[in-house]
Amino acid sequence: MFNFSSPSCRQIFVCIAALALSASSCRAQATANLNVTMNVQSTISLTFQNLTGAPKPGACALTNAGTNNVGLDLGTAFFIFTTSPCATFTFIPGGFQESSQFAVQVNKTNSSSANYRLQASLSTPPPANVKWLINSDVLGTTPVALTGQAANAYGAQVTQTLAVQVGFFVPAQTLQETITFVATAN
């Protein structure tokens, strides 16, 4: 039996412990660093929404509402009235106007932008004596900055009025147009 209190046993024990520790420190090791970079892109999204209660007078229901690709049917307009129960029919000098309201909603993600501005444009020029308007702004094929739409709040539904003005001498035809809206972060 060993006497651990003897100086020679203690020396042997210390040597064995030192060998065990040095053996574990002799294991092969390697280190490496992984440097990570990532860009976070800010985004905004634009969707069209029905006004509460649509269809109702002055606000036709959008087809595919809640998306960024919708339709709006204003019905058939004649010289003195419209067949649409939701469109607003108005006489204007030299013709008539038919209009309907809807909402635009712009949301943001990962953006410090406080608000956005809104523009709109037509995909093709309208026929002679026909005008397309958003609110009071006449649209063309070049984007138009919409009046009063330079600092809209994100997440809020902003009411817009689409109107088409038709002169009295425009021949019978189907008026169809694609209107592109562009929201730009400020």
Q: Domains of the chain: which residue ranges? A: 43-185
State both tokens at 152.
Answer: 């809209």
- Whether 130 contacts 165, CB under 8 Å: yes
15 vs 126, higher pLDDT? 126
Fold annotation for 43-185? Immunoglobulin-like (2.60.40)
- Whether 101 contacts 161, CB under 8 Å: yes
Q: What value does the mean pLDDT of the chain take? A: 91
Reported as a pLDDT band with limits 50, 70 and 90, residue 78 is confident
pLDDT of residue 138: 99
Q: Note the pTM of the prediction, 2 decimals.
A: 0.80
Bridge partners, residue 98, by sequence: 89, 164
pLDDT of residue 116: 98
Task: Answer whether residue 73 shows pLDDT above 90.
Answer: yes
pLDDT of residue 117: 98
**Residue 41 main-chain phi, psi, to 5 deg:** -95, 130
pLDDT of residue 184: 97
Q: What tens digit of pLDDT does each residue of 43-65 get?
A: 999 999 999 999 999 999 999 99
Nearest to 74 by CA among 103, 95, 105, 102: 102
pLDDT of residue 25: 59
Task: Answer whether residue 12 shows pLDDT above 70.
Answer: no
Task: Answer whether residue 15 shows pLDDT above 80.
Answer: no
